[in-house]
Amino acid sequence: MKRFFDNELETFRSHLILMGETAIRQVRDALKALVDGDIALADRVIAADDELDDLEIKIDTEAIRYMNLRAPVATELRLVIVGMKASHDLERVGDETTSIAKRAVKLAAEPQLKPYVDIPRMAEIAIEMLRGALDCFINGDSDGAIAVVKRDCEVDAINKQLYRELSSYMIENPQTTSRALELMFISKSIERIADHASNIAEEMVFLNKAEDIRHREELKKSGV
């Protein structure tokens, strides 16, 4: 039976999907700006963060209104709760992409420290994780969500490897310190993006199965 307020939930879902797509585009653009040294694109990424901020507020407002007036239970309740949490994660993804874009602008003004191989690779994994988490939301696929969570350690491993490598650059040649630090922060931002993707995937398992899989060591350790 269709209810007169069912379209409110559809709108809510649509806004969450739009926010996810926007976040993925932002990550992709921020990395492209870094790799290509494209300052104009970096500026557009920084400016577009407002879109994610606005969507987060919109989703929160809709969720609070729905809980207040429609008294959701079961799947609907989980959707509203998960929507609020996921939108917060996506907003933080936006903050990380802004940080990456700002550092891309700084790095574009200096000679490239090293070929960008690992950072695009870990960014691609993070994007795949975000895409996977979003697909799980759309398709209700809990197994896919768990697979996303398991990939987080791949990104963590590359981040650690980059930390060691960039530390070596700084020790060997202090002139590289500022560029190496920028790259370290970028690496850390990507690692955080993967964490947020992992959080969203965990939330999708809760949405689909009402099962809380957060902080399970067996999921964090597997996958590498």
| Binding site residues, another protein, CB under 8 A | 1-3, 71-78, 209-210
40 or 73: CB nearest another protein: 73
Q: Quick one: which H or E segment has residue 174? A: none
4 or 217: CB nearest another protein: 4
9 or 52: CB nearest another protein: 9
47 or 210: CB nearest another protein: 210
What's the CA dihedral at 36, 41, 42, 45 to 10 degrees?
A: -140
Least Cβ distance, residue 8 to another protein (angstroms): 13
Least Cβ distance, residue 73 to another protein (angstroms): 5
Least Cβ distance, residue 210 to another protein (angstroms): 3
CA gap 151, 148 in Å, rounded? 5
Asked whether 85 and 199 are in contact (CB, 8 A), the reply is: yes
Q: Let me know if 111 is exposed, middle or buried by CB neighbors in 10 A (0-12, 13-18, 19+).
A: exposed
169 or 206: CB nearest another protein: 206
Least Cβ distance, residue 93 to another protein (angstroms): 28
Amino acid identity, position 74: A
Query: Which stretches of the chain are assigned E, i.e. beta strand?
Result: none
Amino acid identity, position 120: P
| CA separation, residue 62 to residues 7, 38, 88, 153, 204 (Å) | 12, 37, 14, 34, 19
58 or 78: CB nearest another protein: 78
Least Cβ distance, residue 207 to another protein (angstroms): 10
Least Cβ distance, residue 141 to another protein (angstroms): 17
The token duo for 6 is 């069912």
Amino acid identity, position 53: D
Least Cβ distance, residue 71 to another protein (angstroms): 6
CA angle 151, 157, 160 (to 5 degrees): 145
40 or 71: CB nearest another protein: 71
Q: Other CB atoms closer than 10 Å to residue 157's CB: what's the count?
A: 14
